[in-house]
A and B are shown apart, each in its own frame.
Chain A
């Protein structure tokens, strides 16, 4: 343990004396505290030009991830190339501890910088602000629904079995799952639609609806209507394709629907039919406490994600050398950003070409590989005032803190044994 603490301390001293910590902290303070005083984030900067900037934790996180991925890529390889690593490796310390100590130290540096940014965010915006649990309506499981559709096709279309054998059931199920997730529910003018929530959220703390409505032609059109949940009501007056938040309050509804308990009712008060994807675009928001605690949970989750990226970079640095590892880390971050958008356009497996099949395979693989990073859920949750749930933090921590750093440290230790400079 003392040896491990020594390695952590060495890397922390290196981060301080190389001014990396100061530079990153300075950049975080500049972005979160100084710039918002001069450049407004609403797209109308003072002066002749327009800016669209977001002073969010996400920008600082991106900066920290890129910087620390590069630093982690070099931490072991640089010392090995400079022959300093061998002086550590001849001491009574396990090789995996040498890698893990550096990963922990670099993650701690990132945690500090993100902590400064999160504290500024809380001071700047946290006063009186709350966050909400986002509860999704009860809809059928897309995987089960896809299986049901597959069985139905098999039963109803004689040619389907042959085509399915050629394409592969797994690909068809993936496609059907995507199809199910993309299904919209239409609500004609003057009509109502209902969605059930299980268990029924407690209305006493305050409820709101978050919804994104669409029209038939994907235009930006005005929509209006009313949401009811028990004796709570809220009027909607918004435009399609953008997220709307409707606060529900006690009061007499304009037209009292015969709703069951735990059921959200929407009455389309506009002139055109609107549609909604209940799997993606409809949530009941339940008040979940203060913003500060939410910022803390988001910070914790981001630190966990950072630990995974840092450990991966450290392993690549140890196994492949600094330049290859830096490139691999940047490629990983790039794949994290583009991966999900590629998969959104999944082609029909029956008609897709061999090349499309190959690219879909690559996209699926990159999506699985970059799953710790690719949605960056805590940042978007903070921005939409959604609660970062403890169970999500625990899941991310379990994967990214308990699994990745340990596995990558072991691999990096192994790489240290295999890859030693000759003299």
Chain B
């Protein structure tokens, strides 16, 4: 298997100011994502999805184990040149226009001015923001900002796209557009790693999923092979005994 992402025995423990361990976010995680896959990283809140993504992106380093992206250390410039990242919230510079935002990220990817200009135009057209390209993104709605963030993740033509909750905050039409985009990019050979709480969305686009719980891998499998819906599979793995203890409160 041509591995794009490879995690072996990865653990991450966060520490406080006095270096005392506060939380073990990821515990001995093994993961392998093949080229061209749409891989879903699922799990309840606090299961270690975001920490895993940050280690894959090279934003934080694991305490134990190894993370490899295209066989490279994720912090290297060569590895990062192949990655695009769409965070859960858009986190854009509010004073930049949509065009300037994409030009900034194009510059960071090392594109020359002409290529950056052409790609900015294409991407803004693709996400339907060509008409507001000159407006500051600080004045955009959440959905529009999300589209700019998606375009900026793609501006460097990455081989691996990491998407944290790609459909969060989008209306049903936009959600459908994003899902279609993911299918299209996957068919074009791009590897996609995504997290989502919307299991129906994940079921629609992912070819394989991994469910995390308490920093450990609870289950992993291909969508077609899990039997039943993804939601049933998910709840059977991590949902048991997780009801609110409401009876005593209502007494």
Contact = CB atoms under 8 A, between A and B. Distances in A.
Contacts of B83: 90
A101 to B, nearest CB: 10
Interface stretch (B56-64, B170-178, B181-189, B211-219): B56-64
A86 B111 contact: no
A90 B80 contact: yes
Interface stretch (A2-10, A46-54, A324-332): A2-10
Contacts of A5: 107
B50 A423 contact: yes
B179 interface: no
Interface stretch (B1-9, B87-95, B193-201): B87-95
A92 interface: yes
Chain A at the B interface: mostly helix, strand, loop or mixed?
helix
A92 B14 contact: no
Contacts of B110: 2-3, 92
A5 B106 CA distance: 11
A83 B87 contact: yes
A281 B65 CA distance: 67
Contacts of B31: none
Contact of B107 (A3, A82, A89, A422): A3
B147 to A, nearest CB: 15
Nearest to B116: A2
B95 A17 contact: yes
Residue among A7, A88, A90, A92 with most chain B CB within 10 A: A90
B57 A90 contact: yes
A83 to B, nearest CB: 5
A94 B75 CA distance: 9
Contact of B111 (A2, A83, A84, A420): A2
A7 B61 CA distance: 24
Contact of B59 (A10, A18, A89, A94): A89
B81 A92 contact: yes
B107 A87 contact: no
Contacts of A3: 107-110
A84 B93 contact: yes
A10 B107 CA distance: 10
A2 B92 contact: no
A87 B95 contact: no
A102 to B, nearest CB: 13
Nearest to B100: A13
Contacts of A422: 14, 51
A89 B107 CA distance: 13
Interface residues on A, range: 20 to 34
Interface residues of B, number: 36
Nearest to B58: A90
A9 B91 CA distance: 18
A88 to B, nearest CB: 6
Contact of B112 (A2, A14, A91): A2
A93 interface: yes
B87 A13 contact: no
Looking at B89, B103, B104, which has the most chain A CB atoms within 10 Å of its CB?
Answer: B104
Nearest to A82: B91
A143 B205 CA distance: 77
A422 B108 CA distance: 24
Nearest to B136: A17
B105 A420 contact: no
B178 to A, nearest CB: 18
Contacts of B96: 10, 13
Contact of B95 (A9, A13, A88, A91): A13
B93 to A, nearest CB: 6
A87 B87 contact: yes
Interface string A386-423: 00000000000000000000000000000001001011
B166 interface: no
A82 B87 CA distance: 12
Contact of A83 (B57, B75, B89, B106): B89
Nearest to B82: A92
A93 B77 contact: yes
A93 B109 CA distance: 8
B108 A18 contact: no
A423 B25 CA distance: 11
Interface string A254-288: 00000000000000000000000000000000000
Nearest to B22: A422
A84 B85 CA distance: 12
A84 B91 CA distance: 5
Nearest to A1: B110
B201 to A, nearest CB: 21
Given A14-B95, A420-B59, A6 B107 contact: yes
B108 to A, nearest CB: 4
Interface of A: 2-3, 5-7, 9-10, 13-14, 17-18, 82-84, 86-94, 417, 420, 422-423
11 contacts: A2-B111, A2-B112, A7-B108, A83-B91, A91-B80, A91-B156, A92-B78, A94-B77, A417-B61, A422-B51, A423-B50
Given A2-B112, A86-B57, A422-B14, 17 more contacts: A2-B110, A3-B108, A13-B96, A13-B100, A83-B87, A83-B91, A84-B93, A86-B54, A86-B59, A86-B85, A87-B85, A87-B87, A91-B156, A92-B80, A92-B81, A92-B109, A422-B51
7 closest Cβ pairs, A-B complex: A6-B107, A92-B81, A91-B108, A17-B95, A92-B80, A83-B91, A92-B77
